[in-house]
C-alpha cells in the first residue's frame, strides 16, 4: 500500500473525494516559498481587529460560516478572549488536558524516540509545543475547527507545529475541501500530508455549527453592552444634581447669587444659609444598575455552562453533598477533548514525523498517543477490583475442579472489562503475550510556559 493510501485510510478519506481536486496553490509551490522568504517565513496574513460588536454582526457571522467563510466568526472569537471570565474558563479546560500525563502505544523504539529529550524538552514537545496544542484545542472547542502547519526546521529531522488563526480558513462546498487564505494566495489544505493539520473535534460536515462561538458570542456581546451601560449609569450618578430652596420673599438678585455659589460647589465647600434658605442633593435610589448587573451575571453563567457543562466546577455550587458529581462531569468533557485531539495528532501529525525517522514501518506498526484522563482514585479502585477478580477466579477455579467444571473466564473478563489478548482462557492460564501487548511509555515531561520542564505524573504500572 502506498504511503498516501495508508494516510487516507487513517483519516477515513471518502472514496468520492478526488485527491487532486483543488483550485488553489500548494504550500510547497515555488511562488509560496518566494513570498514566505520575502516576509521572513510568515504564511499567515495580518489579522483584522474589531473592537465593537453587535447582534447583527453575530447573525452575519452565522450566515457567512454556513457558506464556508469563517472570517467574521473567528474575529468574534478572538474578541471574546478579551473577557476575563471566558478566557479563564477556556484556558482552564484546555490546560486541564494538555498538562495531563501522556501514554504512547505501539513501537517501543518510536515511543522512546518521542520521549527522548532535545535540550530541556522531549522530542514530542519539540514537534507539538504545549502552547500550540492548547491553542489548537481551544480553536476546536470555540470555532469547531482549527488549523496548524508542520514547519520544517533546518538541522533536524522533525518539524514544529505552528497554530494558524482560523480567521483565514475557508471551506469550498463544491470541492469538499478546506483552504487557507495565506500571504501568497489561497492554499489547498490536505490533512495528513506532512505539512497540514486540520483539527475537527465535532462532526465532519459543517463543523462550525458544533463549535461554541455562537453561544459564547451572544453572551459576550450582551455583556460588553451591559458593562458599557453600567459604566455610563455610574458616571452620571457619581455627581448628583444640586438643588437650592429659596424663601418666598427672596429677591431675584439673591436667588442668582445663591445659585452661583451652588454652581461653584467644590471640595469641602461650606455654606452659611440664612433662615428659609436650603441646599440639597438630588440622588437616585441607586438600584438602576441592577438590570445591567443581571445581564452580566447571565452572560457569565452561560459561559460556564457552555464550556464546563455546569456551574459547580467554577462556583462550587450550593446544596451539593456529593463532591464527585461536578468532578465527574468535568472529567467527561476533558476525555472528549483528549480523544479528539489525540485522534488528530495520531492521524495527521505523528505518522509523517515517524516515517521520516523510521521509514514506512512506522505506518505498518503505528505509534499512537493517548492522554491519561483517569483520576488517581479511579485507578486505585480499578486496581483493587482487578485484584479481587483475580482472587475470585483462582478460588472459583479451585472450587469447581473437584466437579470437573471449568470456569468461564471470558464471561468474567467481559463483565468486569478486563483487557486481555487472544483467547481469554488461554491467557488466564499462560499469561499475556508480551510481543503483541501494547507498549506503554511513562508520561513525557511537559514544558512550562517559561521554557523549562516539569515532571508529570508517571504512567500507572
Whole-angstrom distance, CA of residue 293 vs CA of residue 56: 23
Q: Which of 60-74, 113-127, 238-252, 434-448 has the lowest mean pLDDT?
A: 434-448
Q: How many CA atoms lie within 13 A of 431 on its CB side?
A: 2
- Reported as a single tens digit per residue, the pLDDT across 235-281 is 776 667 777 778 877 888 888 887 887 777 766 677 777 788 887 77
Residues making up the chain, counted from first to last? 461
Mean pLDDT score, 111-122: 85
Question: pLDDT above 70 covers what percent of the chain?
Answer: 76
Confidence of residue 378 (pLDDT cuts 50, 70, 90): low
What are the start-end ranges of the H helices in 19-107? 30-38, 55-66, 71-80, 84-98
- pTM for this one? 0.71
Q: Which of 53-67, 369-383, 440-454 has the lowest mean pLDDT?
A: 440-454
pLDDT exceeds 90 at position 14: no
DSSP state of 269: -
Return the closest-CA partner of residue 86 out of 330, 314, 300.
Answer: 300
DSSP state of 138: H
3-state secondary structure of 149: strand
pLDDT exceeds 60 at position 226: yes
- Reported as a single tens digit per residue, the pLDDT across 178-216 is 999 999 999 999 998 889 999 999 888 999 999 999 999
Chain mean pLDDT for the chain: 80
Mean pLDDT score, 210-224: 94
Q: Give residue for cell 455549527.
A: 209
pLDDT exceeds 70 at position 367: yes
What are the start-end ranges of the H helices in 309-455? 312-315, 324-348, 350-358, 361-364, 376-400, 409-415, 424-430
pLDDT at 29: 92
Whole-angstrom distance, CA of residue 374 vs CA of residue 439: 18
Q: Which of 111-115, 288-292, 436-440 has the lowest mean pLDDT?
A: 436-440
DSSP state of 455: P
Answer for the pair 154, 160: CB distance below 8 angstroms, yes or no: no
pLDDT at 236: 72
DSSP state of 36: H
Amino acid at each position: 500500500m502506498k504511503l498516501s493510501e495508508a494516510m487516507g485510510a487513517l483519516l477515513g478519506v471518502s472514496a468520492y473525494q478526488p485527491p487532486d481536486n483543488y483550485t488553489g496553490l500548494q504550500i510547497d509551490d515555488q511562488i509560496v516559498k518566494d513570498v514566505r522568504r520575502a516576509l521572513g517565513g510568515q504564511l499567515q496574513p495580518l489579522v483584522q481587529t474589531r473592537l465593537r460588536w453587535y447582534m447583527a454582526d453575530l447573525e452575519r457571522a452565522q450566515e457567512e460560516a454556513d457558506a464556508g467563510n469563517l472570517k467574521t466568526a473567528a474575529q468574534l472569537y478572538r474578541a471574546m478572549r478579551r473577557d476575563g471570565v471566558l478566557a479563564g474558563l477556556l484556558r482552564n479546560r484546555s490546560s486541564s488536558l494538555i498538562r495531563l500525563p501522556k501514554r504512547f502505544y505501539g513501537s517501543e523504539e518510536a515511543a522512546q524516540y518521542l520521549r527522548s529529550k532535545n535540550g530541556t524538552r522531549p522530542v514530542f514537545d519539540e514537534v507539538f509545543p504545549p502552547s500550540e496544542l492548547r491553542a489548537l484545542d481551544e480553536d476546536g472547542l470555540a470555532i469547531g475547527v482549527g488549523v496548524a502547519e508542520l514547519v520544517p526546521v533546518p538541522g533536524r529531522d522533525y518539524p514544529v507545529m505552528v497554530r494558524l488563526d482560523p480567521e483565514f480558513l475557508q471551506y469550498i462546498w463544491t470541492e469538499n475541501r478546506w483552504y487557507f487564505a495565506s500571504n501568497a494566495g489561497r492554499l489547498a489544505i490536505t490533512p495528513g500530508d506532512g505539512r497540514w493539520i486540520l483539527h475537527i473535534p465535532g462532526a465532519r460536515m459543517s463543523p462550525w455549527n458544533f463549535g461554541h462561538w455562537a453561544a459564547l458570542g451572544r453572551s459576550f456581546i450582551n455583556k460588553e453592552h451591559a458593562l458599557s451601560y453600567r459604566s455610563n449609569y455610574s458616571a452620571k450618578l457619581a455627581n448628583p444634581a444640586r438643588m437650592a430652596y429659596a424663601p418666598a420673599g427672596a429677591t431675584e438678585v439673591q436667588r442668582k447669587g445663591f445659585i452661583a455659589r451652588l454652581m461653584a460647589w467644590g471640595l469641602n465647600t461650606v455654606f452659611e444659609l440664612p433662615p428659609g434658605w436650603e441646599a440639597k442633593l438630588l440622588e437616585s435610589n441607586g438600584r438602576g444598575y441592577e438590570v445591567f448587573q443581571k445581564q452580566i451575571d447571565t452572560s457569565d453563567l452561560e459561559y460556564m455552562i457552555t464550556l464546563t457543562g455546569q456551574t459547580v466546577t467554577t462556583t462550587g455550587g450550593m446544596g451539593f453533598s456529593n463532591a464527585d458529581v461536578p468532578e465527574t462531569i468535568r472529567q467527561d468533557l476533558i476525555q472528549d477533548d483528549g480523544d479528539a485531539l489525540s485522534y488528530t495528532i495520531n492521524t495527521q501529525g505523528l505518522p509523517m514525523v515517524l516515517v521520516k525517522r523510521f521509514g514506512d514501518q512506522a505506518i505498518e506498526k503505528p505509534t499512537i498517543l493517548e492522554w491519561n484522563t483517569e483520576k488517581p482514585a479511579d485507578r486505585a479502585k480499578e486496581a483493587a477490583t482487578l485484584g479481587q477478580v483475580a482472587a475470585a477466579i483462582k478460588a472459583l477455579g479451585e472450587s469447581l475442579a473437584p466437579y470437573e467444571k471449568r470456569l468461564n473466564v471470558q464471561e468474567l473478563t467481559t463483565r468486569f472489562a478486563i483487557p486481555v489478548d487472544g483467547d481469554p482462557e488461554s491467557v488466564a492460564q499462560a499469561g499475556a503475550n508480551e510481543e503483541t501487548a501494547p507498549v506503554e511509555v511513562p508520561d513525557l515531561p511537559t514544558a512550562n510556559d517559561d521554557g523549562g520542564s516539569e515532571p508529570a505524573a508517571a504512567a500507572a504500572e
